[in-house]
C-alpha cells in the first residue's frame, strides 16, 4: 500500500467502504447504547438537577437534610459493610476448604450445589425461608421454642439473608484464585521451616488479599443495590435507600424524590465500581513462571483444622438447604406453622390466577436470553478484535447499566420512557431491553476474557491460508468463543427469571413478572403461593441451565479455553 | 556452617491412584546412600519417579513404605518444615508479594533470628550469588536467571542440612543453563552441602554430579559416577539413556570374543551371567569409530555414508556398514576432511570402545 492510499483510508468514509459490515454493526450498537444506556441516565440526571427550566440542587439538598433519608443512607452503607465483610469471610471459608482440604470430589460437588442455590433463585428466597423459620408463626421461634411475638424483621435478619444470598459470589471469585496459587510457593515456605499456620498467614493470605478486596467490593455493591430483601425483612425499623426510593415512587408517585434517592445510591456504587477496576484490578499477582504447577499439593491443612473447616462449611450449606427445603415444604402444605396438611392448592393457584406472570416472564426471558447472548458476544468481539474509533468508550458505556444498582436503572427507564419521544412504559420491549443491557455485559466480559486467551495468530493463520475474514470468523473465532455466548445466555436467562430491583418499576397490567408477583404475595401474606412460585422459578432455572450446560459441552470446540462457570461472570440482581 | 550430614533412604515406595491403570508405583523400593557433602543426581526420563523421590526426601510427600535418614536421624515422620532442607523448585516458587530481600530472609525470620543477623546473612548470600543491589526489587521484575539465583540464595541462606533441586534449570535458555549449572556446582563445593539434584538432562547430570542415580519406572537402575554409567552401563537402558549408542547383536564365542561388523571384538569384560554361545549386545558409541578415506585394509571395514549433518564443531554421519545402520560423530578436522553422502569410507573400531551387554530379550 502506498502512502497516499494509507492516508486515504484514515477517513471515516474510506473505513466504511473498506468494511461496511463492521461500520454497520458499530453504528447499530452505538444507537442502541445511546437509547438504552445514555438516554435514560441523562433523563434521570435532568429530572434531578433540572427544575422549571433551570439548574437546581434543591431536590438533592432536601434529601441530604432529611434526617429520615440520611438514616436510610447510613443503614444502606452499614448493611453493605456487614454483608461485604461476613460474606467475604464465608466465601473464603468455602473457597479455602474446597481448594486446600483435599476433599473427595463428591463432597465438593455437594457443597457446590447447595452454595449455588441462592444464585439461581429470586434474591429474596432466603428471606422467605427466614420468615418461615423465625417469623411470628415461625417453625423454630414459635413452633419449636414457643416464643410469642418474636420479631424477625430488622437489620439482623436482613444482614443474615443477604449474606447467605450473596456469599456464593465471594466463593466463586476466591476459589479460582486460591486454585491458581502455585502449591509450590506454599511448599517452599514450609520447606524453609514455617509452620502450616505461618505459611497461611505469611504466604496464602497475603496472596489472596486482592481477591478478598474484590469479593468484598462485589458483595458491598450487591447489598447496596439489593431491594427485595430489605423490603421483606427490613420492616419499618430498618429503611434503606433502594426501598425508600421504591416507596417514594410507588407509594407517593414522587418520581423526582425517587430519582434523587437513587442518585444518592449512585455515589457509593460508583466509588465501589471504580475502586474495583482501578485499585484491585492492578494488584492481582500474576503467575511468574508458567511451568511446574502440576504437582499434587502437599497437606497444607492439619487434619484437625480440616475437619473443623469442613464442619463449618457443612453447617452453612445445611442451613441453605434447610431454607430451600422449607420453601418446598411450605409450597406443599395448607399453611406453614398452622396447618401442615398436604395440598397442591398453592400450585393450583399459581397455574390459574398466577398463569399470566409465568407466561409473561417466560416470554420475556425467551426474548431477552438470545438477544442478550448475541449482544454480549458481538460487542465483546468487536471491542477485543476490531480496531474502530471509540471502542474503549463503547466498552465503558456498555458496562454502565451493569455496574449501576438496579433501582437506579429501573427509575431511569421509568422516567425516560414514560414521555415522548420514546413512550415504551408498560411494554415487554422495555423489560427485555432492560435485561439485555443490564445482564448482557457479563457476556461481553466473558467474550473479551476468552479472546484475550486466544492468540491472534490463530486468526492470522486462517487468513494466511487464504480464508476471507468472514470465513475466519465463522470457522475459527466463533467456535472458540461459543462458550462465552452460552455463558452469556445462562446469565441473562437466570436474571430474566429472578431479577426484580430494576424491572419492578417497569411492570404493568399488560406485562408482569413472577418475581413481582412473589413480592405481592409476601406483602399480602399469601406465603403458600409465594413459596410455590419460588420453587417453580428454581426448577425452571435449573432445568434450562442444565440444558445450556449440556449444549455447551456438546458444542464446545476441542481445546477451546474453558469458561470457569456459567455463574462465574456473575452480575447483580 | 552446619556440619554436612549424610542422607540415607531405605526402601522408599510411593503409590498413586491412576485413572486407567489403578494403583501405580511412582517409586518402588528406592534406596540410596548420599555421603556428607556429596552432589548426587537423580536422573531419568519423565515419569521415572525421580521427582517423587525428591519430594519424599523433602517431606512434601509421605512414603507408603521405607525410611529417610538425615545424618543417621530418622526424619520420615517429620514434616517438611522440621527437616532443615533447602529446596529449589523448577519454577522457583518465589513469593510474588515479597521483595527479593524478604524472599531470601523468609526462612531466617521463621527461625526467629534478630534483624541485624538477618541483614548480614542475606547480604552475604546475595553477594555470593551475584544479586547485590536487587534487595528492594520484586520477583516479577527479575529475569529468569535472576529469579533462579534468588531461589538458590533463599534455599542456602538457612544453611540447610540437605539441599534439594527439582529440575532447577529447565526454564532457562540453553546458554544460561550451562552457566548456571557451573555456578550451582561451584557453590555446592564451596559450601559442602549434601545435595540431591533432579534432572532429565544427562549432560547436565554429568556436568554437576559426584554420582548419578539413574532411575526408570520407579526404581534405581544404576548408581555411579558419570564415567561408570557411560563406560560400564549395567543395561541397555542405561547405555541408551546416558549418551548415544549403536547396538549390534552378536554371540559370545570361545576366547571371550564376539564377531560383528566384520571383525572379532575381544571383550575385556564379559557381562555377568553370559556363557559361551549366548546372545549378547554390543554397545558402540558414535565417537568410538575411526573414519578415513583410503583402502579398506588393516582391520578396516567398508562403510557407506548415508547422510551428513554439519554441526560446526562436529559432524554427524549416518553410515551403512555390512547392513547395520550406525551413528557416528567426528570432530571437524577442516573443510577438506568432510566425507560426502554416498561415499564409501574405511571404518575402524578397537576392542576398548566396545561394551558387551547381556541380551535382555533373546
Asked if the Cβ–Cβ distance from A191 to B86 is below 8 Å, we say yes
Q: What is the pLDDT of residue B134?
A: 93
* Residue among B59, B97, B140 whose CB faces A207 most closely: B97
Chain A hits for B55, Cβ within 8 Å: 295
In terms of CA atoms, which chain A residue is nearest residue B85? A191
pLDDT level of residue A36 (50, 70, 90 thresholds): very high
> Which of B47, B55, B79, B91 to mutate to probe the A interface, most A CBs <10 Å?
B91
pLDDT band at A291; cut points 50, 70, 90: very low
Instruction: List, in order of start, the domains of chain B with CATH numbers.
Output: 7-238 (3.40.50.300), 244-358 (2.40.50.140)
Is the model's pLDDT at A296 over the cut of 50? no
Nearest CA in chain B to A190: B81
Interface with B, mutate which of A186, A189, A193 (most B CBs under 10 A):
A193
Q: Of B61, B96, B171, which has the smallest distance from its Cβ to A291's Cβ?
A: B171
Selected for mutation to probe chain A from B110, B157, B167 (highest A CB count within 10 Å) is: B110
Mean pLDDT on A454-476: 76
Which chain B residues touch A if contact means CB-CB below 8 Å? 51, 55, 58-61, 79-87, 89-97, 106-107, 110-111, 139-140, 144, 147, 154, 158, 170-171
pLDDT of amino acid A99: 83
Q: pLDDT value at position B20?
A: 75
pLDDT of B162 > 80? The answer is yes
Confidence of residue B181 (pLDDT cuts 50, 70, 90): very high
Given a contact cutoff of 8 angstroms between Cβ atoms, the answer to whether A196 and A190 are in contact is yes
Minimum mean pLDDT range among A52-56, A484-488, B94-98: A52-56
- How far is residue A350's CA from residue B37's CA, in Å, rounded to a whole number? 81
- Considering only A20-24, A440-444, B45-49, B343-347, which range has the smallest mean pLDDT? A20-24
Q: Between the CA of residue A519 and those of A46, A158, A323, A413, B270, what are the distances in Å?
A: 31, 16, 18, 21, 92
Residue pair A169/A570 in contact (Cβ under 8 Å)? The answer is: yes
Q: Which of A143-152, A476-485, B103-112, B271-280 has the highest mean pLDDT?
A: B103-112
Output the pLDDT for position A571.
34
DSSP character at residue A181: S
Selected from 1.10.443.10, 1.10.3720.10, 3.30.160.60, 1.20.1090.10, the CATH number assigned to the domain covering A72-238 reads: 1.10.3720.10
- A562 vs A451, more confident: A451
The better pLDDT of the pair B172, A85 is held by A85
Q: Is A305 on the interface with B (CB under 8 A)?
A: no
Higher pLDDT, A147 or B219: B219
Is the Cβ–Cβ distance between A187 and B60 less than 8 Å? Answer: yes
Q: Please, which pLDDT band fits residue A143 given cuts at 50, 70 and 90? A: low
Pick the residue with more confidence: A541 or A279? Answer: A541
pLDDT(A565) > 80: no
Give the chain A residue nearest B82 (alpha carbons): A193
Interchain pair A291, B91: CB under 8 A? yes
Asked if A295 reaches chain B (Cβ–Cβ under 8 Å), the answer is yes
Per-residue pLDDT, averaged over A131-155, amounts to: 73
User: CATH 1.10.3720.10 in chain A, residues?
Assistant: 19-49+344-573, 72-238
Residue A207 and residue B147: Cβ atoms within 8 Å?
no
Give which of A434, A375, A433 is closest to A573, Cα–Cα. A434
Mean pLDDT, residues B66-82: 91
Q: Give burial (CB, 10 Å; 0-12/13-18/19+) of B8.
A: middle
Does any CB of chain B come closer than 8 Å to the CB of residue A187? yes
Q: Do B96 and A285 touch (CB under 8 A)?
A: yes
How confident is residue B103, by pLDDT bands cut at 50, 70 and 90?
Answer: very high
With contacts defined as CB-CB under 8 Å, which chain B residues touch A290? 91
Please give the average per-residue pLDDT across A367-378, as a whole number.
Answer: 91
ipTM of the complex: 0.77
- CA-nearest residue of chain B to A283? B97
- What is the per-residue pLDDT across A239-253, written as a single tens digit (0 to 9) for each? 888 888 888 888 887
The pLDDT value recorded for residue A2 is: 42
Cβ neighbors of B307 (< 8 A, separation 6 or more) are B317, B318, B341
Percentage of chain A lying above the pLDDT 70 cut: 88
DSSP structure class, residue B270: P
pLDDT of residue A251: 80
Taking contacts as CB-CB distances below 8 angstroms, the residues of chain A near B58 are: 187, 191
Smallest CA-to-CA distance from A282 within A209, A226, A197, A227 is with: A209
The CATH class that applies to domain A19-49+344-573 reads mainly alpha
Which pLDDT tens digit goes with each residue over A298-315? 667 788 888 899 999 999
Model pLDDT, residue A463: 74
With contact defined as beta carbons under 8 Å apart, do B34 and B40 qualify?
A: yes
A193 touches chain B (CB under 8 A): yes
Name the minimum distance, in Å, from the CA of A190 to any CA of chain B: 5
* Residues β-bridged to residue B328: B317
Q: What is the pLDDT of residues A316-360, one digit of tens each?
A: 999 999 988 888 988 888 887 777 788 888 888 888 888 888 989
Residue B55 pLDDT: 92
Decide if pLDDT at B136 tops 90: yes
The pLDDT > 90 percentage for chain A reads: 13
Q: Which residues in chain B have Cβ-Cβ distances shorter than 8 Å to A292?
A: 89-91, 171
The reported pLDDT for the residue numbered A569 is: 37
User: Which is more confident, A14 or A195?
Assistant: A195
Residue A258 is predicted with a pLDDT of 84
In the predicted model, what is the mean pLDDT of residues A157-174?
Answer: 90
- Given B61, B95, B139, which is nearest A203 (Cβ)? B95
Q: How far is B82 from chain A (nearest CA, A)?
A: 6
* B80 with A198: Cβ contact below 8 A: no
Chains A–B, number of C-beta pairs less than 8 Å apart: 98
Cβ–Cβ of A191/B106 closer than 8 Å?
Answer: no
Which of A181, A182, A188 to mutate against chain B (most B CBs within 10 Å)? A188
Nearest by CB to A288, which of B59, B87, B94? B94
pLDDT above 70 covers a percentage of chain B that reads 99
> Are B283 and B356 within 8 A, CB to CB?
yes
A392-401 pLDDT tens trace: 888 888 888 8
pLDDT at residue A560 in the model: 55
pLDDT at A293: 40
CA dihedral A287, A288, A291, A295 (to 10 degrees): -60
Report yes or no: A293 at the B interface, CB cutoff 8 Å: yes
Q: Alpha helices of chain B — where are they, by DSSP H? A: 50-58, 100-110, 115-128, 144-156, 174-191, 202-208, 226-231, 236-241
- How many whole angstroms separate alpha carbon A434 and alpha carbon B165? 58
**Which chain B residues touch A288 with a CB distance below 8 Å?**
91-92, 94, 96, 139-140, 147
Range from A271-285, A469-483, A557-571, B306-320 that averages highest in pLDDT: B306-320
Q: What is the dihedral of CA B150, B152, B158, B162, to 10 degrees?
A: 160
* Model confidence pLDDT, tens digit, residues A400-436: 888 888 888 988 898 888 888 887 777 888 899 999 9
Measured distance CA(A58)–CA(A61) in Å, rounded = 5
pLDDT digits (tens, 9 = 90+) for A47-73: 888 777 777 777 777 777 888 888 888
Measured between CB atoms, does A212 come within 8 Å of chain B? no
pLDDT at A7: 45
Contacts of A286 in chain B (CB under 8 A): 96, 140
Give the mean pLDDT of chain B. Answer: 90
Element (H, E) at A212: helix A205-225
8 Å CB contact between B243 and B237: no
CB contact under 8 A, A193 and B107: yes
Instruction: Using alpha carbons, select from A559, A543, A563, A429 the residue that is nearest to residue A485.
Output: A563
A198 touches chain B (CB under 8 A): yes
Amino acid at each position: 500500500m502506498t502512502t497516499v492510499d494509507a492516508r486515504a483510508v484514515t477517513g471515516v468514509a474510506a473505513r466504511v467502504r473498506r468494511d461496511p459490515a463492521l461500520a454497520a454493526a458499530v453504528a447499530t450498537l452505538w444507537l442502541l447504547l445511546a437509547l438504552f444506556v445514555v438516554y435514560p441516565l441523562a433523563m434521570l440526571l435532568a429530572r434531578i438537577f433540572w427544575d422549571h427550566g433551570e439548574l437546581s440542587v434543591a431536590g438533592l439538598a432536601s434529601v441530604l437534610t432529611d434526617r429520615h433519608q440520611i438514616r436510610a443512607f447510613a443503614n444502606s452503607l452499614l448493611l453493605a459493610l456487614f454483608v461485604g465483610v461476613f460474606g467475604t469471610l464465608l466465601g473464603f471459608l468455602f473457597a479455602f476448604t474446597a481448594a486446600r482440604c483435599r476433599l473427595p470430589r463428591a463432597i465438593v460437588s455437594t457443597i457446590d450445589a447447595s452454595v449455588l442455590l441462592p444464585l439461581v433463585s429470586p434474591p429474596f428466597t432466603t428471606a422467605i425461608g427466614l420468615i418461615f423459620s423465625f417469623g411470628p408463626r415461625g417453625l423454630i421461634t414459635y413452633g419449636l421454642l414457643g416464643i410469642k411475638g418474636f420479631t424477625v424483621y430488622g437489620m439482623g435478619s436482613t444482614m443474615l439473608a443477604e449474606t447467605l444470598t450473596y456469599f456464593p459470589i465471594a466463593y466463586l471469585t476466591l476459589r479460582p484464585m486460591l486454585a491458581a496459587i502455585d502449591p509450590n510457593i506454599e511448599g517452599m515456605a514450609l520447606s524453609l521451616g514455617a509452620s502450616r499456620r505461618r505459611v497461611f498467614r505469611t504466604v496464602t493470605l497475603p496472596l489472596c488479599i486482592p481477591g478478598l478486596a474484590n469479593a468484598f467490593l462485589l458483595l458491598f455493591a450487591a447489598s447496596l443495590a439489593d431491594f427485595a430483601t430489605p423490603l421483606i425483612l427490613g420492616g419499618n425499623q430498618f429503611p434503606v435507600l433502594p426501598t425508600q426510593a421504591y416507596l417514594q415512587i410507588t407509594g407517593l408517585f414522587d418520581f423526582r424524590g425517587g430519582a434523587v434517592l437513587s442518585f444518592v445510591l449512585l455515589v457509593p456504587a460508583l466509588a465501589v465500581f471504580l475502586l474495583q477496576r482501578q485499585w484491585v484490578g492492578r494488584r492481582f499477582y500474576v503467575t511468574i513462571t508458567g511451568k511446574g504447577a502440576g504437582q499434587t499439593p502437599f497437606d497444607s491443612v492439619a487434619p484437625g483444622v480440616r475437619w473443623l473447616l469442613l464442619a463449618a462449611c457443612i453447617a452453612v450449606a445445611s442451613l441453605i438447604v434447610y431454607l430451600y427445603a422449607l420453601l418446598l415444604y411450605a409450597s406443599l402444605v395448607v399453611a406453614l406453622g398452622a396447618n401442615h396438611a398436604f395440598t397442591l392448592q398453592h400450585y393450583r393457584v399459581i397455574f390459574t390466577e398466577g398463569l399470566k406472570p409465568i407466561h409473561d416472564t417466560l416470554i420475556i426471558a425467551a426474548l431477552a436470553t438470545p438477544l442478550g447472548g448475541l449482544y454480549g458476544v458481538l460487542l465483546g468481539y468487536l471491542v477485543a478484535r476490531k480496531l474502530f474509533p471509540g471502542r474503549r468508550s463503547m466498552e465503558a458505556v456498555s458496562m454502565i447499566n451493569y455496574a449501576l444498582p438496579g433501582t437506579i436503572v429501573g427509575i431511569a427507564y421509568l422516567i425516560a420512557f414514560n414521555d415522548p419521544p420514546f413512550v415504551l412504559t408498560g411494554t415487554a420491549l422495555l423489560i427485555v431491553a432492560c435485561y439485555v443491557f443490564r445482564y448482557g455485559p457479563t457476556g461481553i466480559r466473558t467474550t473479551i476474557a476468552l479472546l484475550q486467551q486466544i492468540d491472534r495468530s490463530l486468526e492470522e493463520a486462517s487468513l494466511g491460508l487464504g480464508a476471507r475474514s468472514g470465513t475466519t470468523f465463522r470457522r475459527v473465532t466463533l467456535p472458540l468463543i461459543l462458550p462465552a455466548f452460552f455463558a452469556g445466555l445462562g446469565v441473562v436467562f437466570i436474571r430474566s427469571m429472578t431479577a426484580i430491583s430494576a424491572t419492578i418499576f417497569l411492570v404493568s397490567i399488560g406485562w408482569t413478572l413472577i418475581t413481582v408477583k412473589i413480592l405481592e404475595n409476601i406483602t399480602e401474606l399469601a406465603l403458600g403461593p409465594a413459596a410455590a412460585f419460588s420453587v417453580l422459578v428454581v426448577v425452571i432455572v435449573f432445568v434450562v441451565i442444565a440444558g445450556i450446560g449440556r449444549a455447551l459441552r456438546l458444542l464446545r470446540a476441542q481445546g477451546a479455553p474453558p469458561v470457569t462457570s456459567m455463574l462465574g461472570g456473575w452480575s447483580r440482581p | 556452617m552446619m556440619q554436612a550430614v549424610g542422607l540415607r533412604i531405605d526402601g522408599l515406595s510411593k503409590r498413586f491412584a491412576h485413572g486407567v491403570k489403578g494403583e501405580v508405583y511412582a517409586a518402588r523400593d528406592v534406596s540410596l546412600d548420599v555421603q556428607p557433602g556429596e552432589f548426587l543426581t537423580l536422573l531419568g526420563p519423565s515419569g521415572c519417579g525421580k521427582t517423587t523421590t525428591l519430594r519424599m526426601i523433602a517431606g512434601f510427600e509421605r512414603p507408603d513404605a521405607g525410611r529417610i535418614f538425615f545424618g543417621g536421624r530418622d526424619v520420615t515422620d517429620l514434616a517438611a518444615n522440621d527437616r532443615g532442607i533447602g529446596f529449589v523448585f523448577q519454577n522457583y516458587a518465589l513469593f510474588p508479594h515479597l521483595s527479593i530481600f524478604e524472599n531470601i530472609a523468609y526462612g531466617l525470620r521463621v527461625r526467629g533470628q534478630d534483624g541485624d543477623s538477618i541483614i548480614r546473612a542475606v547480604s552475604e548470600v546475595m553477594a555470593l550469588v551475584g544479586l547485590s543491589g536487587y534487595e528492594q526489587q520484586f520477583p516479577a521484575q527479575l529475569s529468569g536467571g535472576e529469579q533462579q539465583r534468588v531461589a538458590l540464595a533463599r534455599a542456602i541462606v538457612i544453611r540447610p542440612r540437605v539441599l534439594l533441586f527439582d529440575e532447577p534449570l529447565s526454564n532457562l535458555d540453553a546458554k544460561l543453563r550451562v552457566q548456571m549449572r557451573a555456578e550451582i556446582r561451584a557453590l555446592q563445593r564451596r559450601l559442602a552441602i549434601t545435595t540431591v539434584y533432579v534432572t532429565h538432562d544427562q549432560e547436565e547430570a554429568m556436568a554437576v554430579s559426584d554420582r548419578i542415580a539413574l532411575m526408570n519406572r520407579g526404581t534405581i537402575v544404576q548408581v555411579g559416577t558419570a564415567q561408570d554409567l557411560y563406560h560400564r552401563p549395567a543395561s541397555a537402558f542405561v547405555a541408551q539413556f546416558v549418551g548415544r549408542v549403536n547396538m549390534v547383536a552378536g554371540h559370545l564365542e570361545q576366547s571371550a570374543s564376539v564377531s560383528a561388523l566384520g571383525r572379532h571384538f575381544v571383550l575385556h569384560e564379559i557381562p555377568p551371567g553370559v556363557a559361551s554361545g549366548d546372545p549378547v549386545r554390543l554397545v558402540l558409541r558414535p565417537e568410538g569409530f575411526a573414519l578415513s578415506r583410503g583402502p579398506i585394509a588393516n582391520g578396516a571395514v567398508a562403510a557407506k555414508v548415508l547422510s551428513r549433518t554439519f554441526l560446526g564443531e562436529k559432524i554427524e554421519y549416518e553410515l551403512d556398514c555390512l547392513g547395520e545402520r550406525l551413528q557416528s560423530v567426528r570432530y571437524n578436522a577442516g573443510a577438506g576432511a568432510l566425507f560426502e553422502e554416498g561415499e564409501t569410507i574405511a571404518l575402524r573400531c578397537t576392542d576398548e570402545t566396545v561394551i558387551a551387554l547381556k541380551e535382555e530379550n533373546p
